[in-house]
A and B are shown apart, each in its own frame.
Chain A
Amino acid sequence: MVSRRPLNHGFRRRVLLAGLVLTALIMLGRGFQLQVLEGDRWAERAEEQQKQRIALPAARGTIFDRDGVPLVVSREAYRVAVAPREVRDRAAAERRLREALRLSASEVRRALDPRRRWVVLPGRYDAVVKERLEGIRGIHFERVSERFYPHGSLALELLGQVSADGRALGGIELELDSILRGKPGWAVVRRDARGPIPGALVSVAEPEPGHDVFLTIDLDLQEIAEEALREAVEQTGAAGGDLLMTDPHTGEILAAVSHRTGAGRQWSAVVEPYEPGSTLKPFFVAALLASGRATMQDSVFAENGRYVANGRTIRDVTPHGWLTVREALRVSSNVAMAKLSERLDAADQFAYLRDFGFGSPTGVAFPSESSGRLRRPSTWSKYSAASLSIGYEIAVTPLQMAMAYGALANGGVLMAPRLIREVRTRDGKVLWKSEPEPVRRVVPPEVAQEIAAALVEVVEQGTGREAALGEFGVAGKTGTARRAEGGRYEAGAYTASFAGFFPASDPQLTILVKLDRPKSQYYGGLAAAPVTRATLAAALAARNTPLDRRAVARRVGVPGGGEVVAGASPVPGSAARNVVLTGSGGAEADRGAAHASGPYVFALNSSQAPKEEPAEPAAQRPVPRVIGLPMRDAVRRLHAQGFRVRVEGSGAVSVTDPAPGVLAEPGAVVRVRGREGS
């Protein structure tokens, strides 16, 4: 039995043991190779994948209005993500997600679906929401910076937007991106296979926050302007419109609104030129006067409304006979202007228009400004001189027009428009401050004054009875231009506009209102002028600083002057609509005798200034109760009562300071806090 044993178990055992020991030696050798010989190389690779350099976004600067009210601020927000498999108490997580984020049951179920590993919920949430969700296992937060607009969409077309990843997309955000953006920092953190480990900081370079920008925009005026334009566009059925308010002495833009139905918010007042029509006539007349080719008293025969020049017929809506230049401007006679254009060299006409700023970019701090179009005389046709005299064959931007009117208002000096008032560091150090910047003197002061006086007449024509009112009235000119589309003038499509300044005797505000394709009323006087009235009325009532209130009040007698002005209107109550008709231009002149003689005044009646209000300008008045109202309505109510408003937060009003009923001086600041955010 023993002899049949063929194999040596001891040998097999030793073979196996030798194999094991050999394997052990191989393991040791491999370990030595990897860890000792190649250790540094692997450590490098480890370093490479275990550390990560992450950008620390710099806080973007705030954009303020001229008085330091924030229009856009950067704030921290949080994106919420759920790792369903980490969630322990599913029911609690579900309940708190639903409550804190106001999600529907099905959305929450999807977010907690255990088949998914990582669910990022849409939207961004503030710190309050984050606090409510903190401490639930499986819910994660990612800090993001977002632009917050305390005043909703106010001035959005100016501000522009910033994309989710921090890129400026337009407007001031884009123009001043290098100033607002700041300098991002970086941090090296340890990371795991998924990403950075929170708090595992290796080294860091702090970001430098962006600078703050103060615009020349006045929040109250801007609010008023937006409201007025929105209403006007609605009422006239216009395709859009622009409204600008500037300071004629400094060139500061105080309010700028552009509205295009069905389009995004874009400040088209610098981007989209238009054919101005009659609102250009004052500059032509100014050129005539300044070059000595005519005086205001010169007579010109208006050919009874029909004049053939170079084979082209020019018409007036209302036929006129002999007119002085001044009268021709007042009634906006196309025929008279066309005939007067024969007195002026093409080169002179071109030079004056160019000097008023047409055809050249104004240099305003805004992206993609259009220069409009003013052709050189060498390319003019035989019609061009006459066309230009009545505001055709030229394209101007609303801003160019506003600045040009500003030159008429301030005595003949074209100012550069200013949108940026100051740039400050985050801690308040002023880095740059803009100064009024005269571009050139265009016409002598006397010419500007003569034109201004004529423009007062345009507005106040036939209002001898209200001489006192005339003193603080509006100077301006309406325009109704046919719109060209694809090289032809389109039937029934007009641009209605009004440009002017206020108060006429000592202008403090230049205003331009333009409505594109108004449907119900296309005459500038009917469509655009009421907007002007409404805007200026509200501006007066809001007692805005840019208006030298005392100077105005002295003349008006009553700030927000309800009684006096209302009494001055021929038909109280309906005055508002009637009076505006006078600001007429060529085509629309004298469309109704009754209207034509109506004065253009501020019908600051009933709704704007309650009758029971004391007539004393500085008299105190109770702060109205606006708690619970939507922010926009609350602001309007306060403006109507003559208070200035500072908004904090958004949503319905929760608190006002001073409290409702407390007596406050007109012009005092009322702080309003919304329910959401702060």
Chain B
Amino acid sequence: MPHEAVLAAGAEPVEAAPARATRLGIGWEGPLLLLLTVTLLSFGLVSLYSASSVMAQTLGLADYHFVVRQAAGAAVGLVLLVVAARLDYRFWRRFAWPLLAIAVLLLLVTVIPGTQAIAPVIKGARRWLVIGPVALQPSEIAKLAVLVWTAMLAVKKQDRFSSLSRGLLPFLIIWGLIVLLIFLQPNLSTALLILLLATLVVFAGGARIGHFILLALVGLPILWRQVESAQYRLRRLAAFLDPSQDPAGISYQITQSLIALGSGGLFGRGVGRGQQKFGFLPEPHNDFIFSMIGEEWGFIGVAVVVVLFTLFALVGYRVARQAPDLFGFLLAVAMTNLIAVQAFLHMGVAMALVPTTGVTLPFISYGRSSLLVCLVAVGILMSIARAGAAGQQAPSATGPGGWGERLRLGRLRRRA
């Protein structure tokens, strides 16, 4: 109850006064995030055209087919970004449970039998909801929902992390449900990614290290059995561990990715002049777009992309540090990780540092659900950044509840 009062009181000055009066007052973090996002997005559309035009043509589509659809997604996403940025981030705290419920419902549709009409089997899995012209990946929404929900609950459970049953267990139950649903689609990569991102939020929120170790001890054998049960996953893993054992199979993908990256050299072959997208690289517009970027832009391009995402992570974590409250802090960490961790995982796969999994490169890979979620995440970060900046500029403007959070954080920082 006091929270709501605080929110209502705090929202006013943050929303209205500084935005109009002192534009500098909203800080540089938000605009920089937007700049990084737009830069990556533009770079993404160029790369996507290069990566997908050949594939589109072999599929009998226009060469710009994927780019146009992605650009449309980006336009919608930018609108959502603006909406999310103008919205007080504390909205998400209240909206965490409903969002989770929506995510679970959507996921259920992809899992239960009898809904093939709107959740068709595509490439052996039911990952999409197709309603008329709109196709949606519930697992992407679930990604956002789980992170928002975890941040919300982590704030609540702040004092109970010392207890496994009362601290960590509630998280595990909800995560387990979501992960199970996504796993049933099946989409192991996304399930594991969500688990990883959510765990990082709880880690940031202060859960005990010992609990993580315990979880790992329990979880790994279960995971191993799942991996074992699905032959193709086992082969992926085996191929990763020893690529020479499987020259034509799964490690074919890895090898092709390495050939693409390696043959790019320092300066790359030039935009649009990559060869590996001609059927050698699997999913050059999606799971392996980074390899194609490496081929066409060379190490220079790879370095630029890595630096851009690193910058994004630095700014995002700065936003987290300056967040007015613990929820803002955790949400900022979660959203930053959503972008950065996923990006590095994607790169790791392309460079054979991580076993082959289907992880998209935020802002760049084709996939509108993923793009929308990423852009909303940026909007949320900007909202937190603005609130944080406003708090620093005019501490008096923030409400008493907000103070409490900030004080707590400030004291913690000082102790560190």
Q: A residues touching B (Cβ–Cβ < 8 Å)?
A: 2, 4-14, 16-17, 20-21, 23-24, 26-28, 30-32, 34-36, 38-43, 45-47, 49-50, 85-88, 137-138, 190-194, 197
Residue pair A16, B333 in contact (C-beta under 8 Å):
yes
Find chain A residues with CB under 8 A from B280 CB: 49-50, 192-193
- A86–B57 Cα gap in the complex (Å)? 9
Knowing A34-B262, A35-B261 are in contact, say whether A17-B317 is a contact too (CB < 8 A). Answer: yes
The 3 closest A-B pairs by CB, nearest first: A42-B262, A193-B279, A192-B278
Q: Secondary structure of the A side of the interface?
A: helix
- A26–B302 Cα gap in the complex (Å)? 12
Find chain B residues with CB under 8 A from A190 CB: 275, 278
Name the distance in Å between B404's Cβ and chain A's nearest Cβ: 9
Name the distance in Å between B6's Cβ and chain A's nearest Cβ: 16
- A-facing residues in B225-274 (Cβ within 8 Å): 258-266
Residue pair A27, B344 in contact (C-beta under 8 Å):
yes
The chain A residue sitting closest to B275, CB to CB, is A50
B306 contacts the other chain (Cβ, under 8 Å)? Answer: yes
B76 contacts the other chain (Cβ, under 8 Å)? Answer: no
Find chain A residues with CB under 8 A from B416 CB: 8, 10-11, 14
Name the distance in Å between B334's Cβ and chain A's nearest Cβ: 11
Residue pair A6, B204 in contact (C-beta under 8 Å):
no
Residue pair B279, A39 in contact (C-beta under 8 Å):
no
Name the distance in Å between B206's Cβ and chain A's nearest Cβ: 4
B129 contacts the other chain (Cβ, under 8 Å)? Answer: no
List 17 contacting pairs A-B, 8 Å CB cutoff, sorted by A: A5-B206, A9-B329, A10-B409, A11-B416, A12-B206, A13-B329, A24-B313, A27-B344, A34-B294, A34-B351, A35-B265, A38-B262, A40-B265, A49-B259, A50-B275, A50-B278, A192-B278
- A194–B278 Cα gap in the complex (Å)? 9
The chain A residue sitting closest to B261, CB to CB, is A34
- A192–B274 Cα gap in the complex (Å)? 11
B203 contacts the other chain (Cβ, under 8 Å)? Answer: yes
B337 contacts the other chain (Cβ, under 8 Å)? Answer: yes
- A143–B262 Cα gap in the complex (Å)? 36
B16 contacts the other chain (Cβ, under 8 Å)? Answer: no
Residue pair B263, A46 in contact (C-beta under 8 Å):
yes
Residue pair A42, B263 in contact (C-beta under 8 Å):
yes
Residue pair A42, B261 in contact (C-beta under 8 Å):
yes
Residue pair B321, A2 in contact (C-beta under 8 Å):
no
Name the distance in Å between A349's Cβ and chain B's nearest Cβ: 73
Residue pair B60, A86 in contact (C-beta under 8 Å):
yes
Residue pair B314, A45 in contact (C-beta under 8 Å):
no
Name the distance in Å between A71's Cβ and chain B's nearest Cβ: 44
B348 contacts the other chain (Cβ, under 8 Å)? Answer: yes
Name the distance in Å between B318's Cβ and chain A's nearest Cβ: 9
Find chain A residues with CB under 8 A from B307 CB: 24
Name the distance in Å between B350's Cβ and chain A's nearest Cβ: 9
The chain B residue sitting closest to A193, CB to CB, is B279
Option from B263, B303, B337 in Cβ contact (under 8 Å) with A43: B263
Name the distance in Å between A139's Cβ and chain B's nearest Cβ: 11
- A43–B264 Cα gap in the complex (Å)? 7
- In this complex, how many residues of chain B approach chain A with their Cβ under 8 Å: the count is 59
- A14–B413 Cα gap in the complex (Å)? 11
Find chain A residues with CB under 8 A from B64 CB: none
Option from B58, B275, B294, B415 in Cβ contact (under 8 Å) with A31: B294
Find chain B residues with CB under 8 A from A9 CB: 204-206, 326, 329, 409, 412
B402 contacts the other chain (Cβ, under 8 Å)? Answer: no
Option from B60, B317, B337 in Cβ contact (under 8 Å) with A87: B60
- A41–B310 Cα gap in the complex (Å)? 29
> What does the 1/0 interface line of B399-416 toward A look like (CB < 8 Å)?
000000001110111011
Find chain B residues with CB under 8 A from A34 CB: 258, 261-262, 294, 351
Residue pair A16, B275 in contact (C-beta under 8 Å):
no
Name the distance in Å between A15's Cβ and chain B's nearest Cβ: 8
Name the distance in Å between A182's Cβ and chain B's nearest Cβ: 32
B320 contacts the other chain (Cβ, under 8 Å)? Answer: yes
Option from A6, A13, A191 in Cβ contact (under 8 Å) with B317: A13
- A21–B310 Cα gap in the complex (Å)? 7
- A27–B203 Cα gap in the complex (Å)? 24
Residue pair B158, A20 in contact (C-beta under 8 Å):
no
Name the distance in Å between B408's Cβ and chain A's nearest Cβ: 6
- A282–B322 Cα gap in the complex (Å)? 123
> What does the 1/0 interface line of B311-353 toward A look like (CB < 8 Å)?
0011001001100001001000100010011001001100101
The chain A residue sitting closest to B348, CB to CB, is A27
Name the distance in Å between B387's Cβ and chain A's nearest Cβ: 17
Option from A24, A31, A42 in Cβ contact (under 8 Å) with B310: A24
- A4–B341 Cα gap in the complex (Å)? 31
Name the distance in Å between B117's Cβ and chain A's nearest Cβ: 19
Q: Which of B265, B329, B333, B337 has the most CB of A within 10 A?
A: B265
The chain B residue sitting closest to A26, CB to CB, is B353
Option from A7, A16, A193 in Cβ contact (under 8 Å) with B200: A16
Knowing A6-B162, A8-B416, A49-B259 are in contact, say whether A35-B278 is a contact too (CB < 8 A). Answer: no
Residue pair A46, B276 in contact (C-beta under 8 Å):
yes
The chain B residue sitting closest to A4, CB to CB, is B159
B363 contacts the other chain (Cβ, under 8 Å)? Answer: no
Name the distance in Å between A420's Cβ and chain B's nearest Cβ: 49
Knowing A7-B206, A16-B200, A39-B264 are in contact, say whether A30-B344 is a contact too (CB < 8 A). Answer: no
Residue pair A6, B206 in contact (C-beta under 8 Å):
yes
The chain B residue sitting closest to A44, CB to CB, is B263
Beyond A24-B309, A31-B294, 9 additional pairs, beta carbon < 8 A:
A2-B408, A8-B412, A9-B204, A9-B205, A10-B413, A16-B200, A24-B307, A27-B306, A50-B276
Knowing A23-B344, A31-B351, A137-B60 are in contact, say whether A41-B412 is a contact too (CB < 8 A). Answer: no
The chain B residue sitting closest to A38, CB to CB, is B262
Find chain B residues with CB under 8 A from A47 CB: 263
Find chain B residues with CB under 8 A from A30 CB: 351, 353
Find chain A residues with CB under 8 A from B200 CB: 16
Name the distance in Å between A29's Cβ and chain B's nearest Cβ: 10
Q: Which of B203, B351, B408 has the most CB of A within 10 A?
A: B351
Find chain A residues with CB under 8 A from B279 CB: 192-194
Find chain A residues with CB under 8 A from B298 CB: 35
Find chain B residues with CB under 8 A from A16 CB: 200, 203-204, 317, 333, 337
B1 contacts the other chain (Cβ, under 8 Å)? Answer: no
The chain B residue sitting closest to A30, CB to CB, is B351
The chain A residue sitting closest to B416, CB to CB, is A10
The chain A residue sitting closest to B262, CB to CB, is A42
Name the distance in Å between B31's Cβ and chain A's nearest Cβ: 21
Find chain A residues with CB under 8 A from B214 CB: none
The chain B residue sitting closest to A31, CB to CB, is B302
Find chain B residues with CB under 8 A from A88 CB: 60
Residue pair B306, A42 in contact (C-beta under 8 Å):
no
Find chain B residues with CB under 8 A from A28 CB: 302-303, 306
Find chain A residues with CB under 8 A from B412 CB: 5, 7-10
Residue pair B276, A31 in contact (C-beta under 8 Å):
no
- A23–B313 Cα gap in the complex (Å)? 11
Residue pair A35, B204 in contact (C-beta under 8 Å):
no
Residue pair B59, A10 in contact (C-beta under 8 Å):
no
The chain A residue sitting closest to B312, CB to CB, is A20
Find chain B residues with CB under 8 A from A86 CB: 58-60
B299 contacts the other chain (Cβ, under 8 Å)? Answer: yes
The chain B residue sitting closest to A48, CB to CB, is B259
- A411–B171 Cα gap in the complex (Å)? 115
Q: Which of A4, A21, A34, A46 has the most CB of B within 10 A?
A: A34
Name the distance in Å between B283's Cβ and chain A's nearest Cβ: 13
- A34–B294 Cα gap in the complex (Å)? 10
Residue pair A36, B266 in contact (C-beta under 8 Å):
yes
- A39–B269 Cα gap in the complex (Å)? 12
- A-facing residues in B56-81 (Cβ within 8 Å): 58-60
Q: Which of B275, B314, B341 has the most CB of A within 10 A?
A: B275
Residue pair B303, A36 in contact (C-beta under 8 Å):
no
Knowing A9-B204, A50-B275 are in contact, say whether A35-B60 is a contact too (CB < 8 A). Answer: no
Name the distance in Å between A44's Cβ and chain B's nearest Cβ: 8
Find chain A residues with CB under 8 A from B303 CB: 28, 31
- A157–B264 Cα gap in the complex (Å)? 59
